[in-house]
A and B are shown apart, each in its own frame.
Chain A
Amino acid sequence: MLRWIKPVIFLACLIPLARLAWKGFHGMLGANPIEFITHSTGDWTLIFLLVTLSITPLRKLTHLYWLIGLRRMFGLYAFFYGILHLTTYAWLDKFFAVHEMLADIAKRKFITAGMTAFTLMIPLALTSTKGWIRRMGGKRWHALHRLIYVSAIAGVIHYIWLVKADLHKPLEYAAVLGVLMLYRLVAWAARAKLNSKDAAGVKVEALEI
């Protein structure tokens, strides 16, 4: 399953970028192409973050355990579109004026949130290889990679804080993220309960959420 589906999804994940390139080449990015690219790459960063966070719940709920084989790829695509998004800002909006960018990060809280979201993805991308998992050990690696929760939350806050008045799109992202985080909270609470029952010597059927 995974062997043929993975390359297909890999290529499909490049469609948003290919489309930007194609539209750009044909002058179809609208009246403000740079704004279009900024919004598009930002949207895709968040979408890939949410898709990455969907993998664990989905595989447990649907028992499609092979989905785990796609998680790293989705995570790296989130990072990839995040790099494009940040590059668009640094280059096409700020023209690499470092002092302006630093002032932005310090003064504008939506930039602070966005930078936080991006920065937290860096260690995750760097340690995404099998070698790093081995070197760090599964437990520590998992602990580190929980940073994706913070990154996704910061990313959604970045979006909420930047819109002028209409919150409905960022709140849709927030709702999906909320569900995915709620799942983890419930799973964690169920596990905690199970452990406490075990401790009390109550025999329970192993439940998996």
Chain B
Amino acid sequence: MLIKRAGDIPSSEITPKDLYLNRRKFLAGAVIAGAAAATGFGLRELASPTTIVQAGNKIDGIKKSTFSTTETITPYKDVTNYNNYYEFSTEKDEPASLAKNFRTRPWKVKIEGLVDKKQELDVDTIIKMATPEERIYRHRCVEGWSIVVPWVGFSLSELIKRVNPQSKAKFVEFTTLNDPSQMPGVRRPVLNWPYVEGLRMDEAMHPLTLLCFGMYGEELPNQNGAPLRIVVPWKYGFKSAKAIVRIRFVEKQPINSWNESAPNEYGFYSNVNPTVDHPRWSQAKERRLGEFLKRPTLMFNGYGDQVASLYSGMDLRKNF
């Protein structure tokens, strides 16, 4: 029987000394770089951006709306410095500065798909289609925080009526601008750009669904989705697409970006629902910005009286 001695290492397996020392240098370099990086993380954490408050142009002739809540409006500086706008950054305090020079004019919106009047509309033409209204809405983020915002716009239905969708059109799909030269966030594949969202036709036609171009009586700040966005107050915030460049009418349910990214966590409907948890956190409560204690989240974000009938007979646990 052959008993192999531990020392029988074939010469081919012995690392040459110079190579060994090179590896050693490489590892040493990596460790020192790693230790430096750990310290660097600390310095980065200490340096957080400062709050930016910029006033925009006033919008004239704004009408009040009966859809408005009387709840306390969240301060402007919070709504403009706490933005989930991944096209600019995944850090909520960064879009305010990164979107500062974002060009919102000229701006065209393509109307495509199953409509009689396919066309490219200038944003200023769209804005003049109807009287601007102030809609003070609750806005609930899927992450568990909420704000109250005085949006300015008019019902999306005003636009939809004017472009004559065909009877085959069952859904509306919204596409956000995807411009790497202006939007640093889209240079990294965090989501499958461009950002796409969608609504069922009856949701899109619902009077609460807002085509929005302003807030706090002024033009929409860039970090809040200028020049044109959607606001759907009974759904989680990510359904309210920003900086829209295309509205497409389609027969099949669109694949929205977050659903594509994590189908078990984000559905198509994404109605605010305290009884259906996000797989990683509870949706039963929310923190209204500016408040210390959490408040209970309301079904359909408190808009149940207006919208619950859209979903009658649907299993909202399955269609989350």
Contact = CB atoms under 8 A, between A and B. Distances in A.
Contact of B287 (A16, A34, A108): A34
Contacts of B71: none
Given A165-B261, A196-B7, A31 B45 contact: no
A110 interface: yes
B37 interface: yes
A166 B34 contact: no
A95 interface: yes
B86 A50 contact: no
A93 B286 CA distance: 10
Given A34-B287, A176-B34, A166 B86 contact: yes
A167 B122 CA distance: 37
Interface of A is mostly: helix
Contacts of B86: 165-166
A149 interface: no
Interface string A163-186: 011101000110110011011001
Contact of A180 (B31, B78, B258): B31
Contacts of B258: 165
A190 to B, nearest CB: 9
B7 A201 contact: yes
Contacts of B8: 200
B48 to A, nearest CB: 8
Given A51-B39, A166-B90, A172-B41, A58 B190 contact: no
A61 B82 contact: no
Contact of A47 (B42, B280, B281, B290): B42
Contact of A50 (B33, B38, B78): B38
B35 A58 contact: yes
Contact of A32 (B41, B145, B279): B145
Of all A-B residue pairs in the complex, the 8 with the closest CB atoms, nearest first, are A200-B7, A31-B82, A31-B78, A54-B35, A166-B90, A50-B38, A179-B34, A57-B31
Interface of B: 5-9, 23-24, 27-28, 30-35, 37-39, 41-42, 45-46, 48, 51, 77-79, 81-82, 86, 90, 92-93, 143, 145, 188, 190-191, 258, 261-262, 279-282, 287, 289-290, 292-294
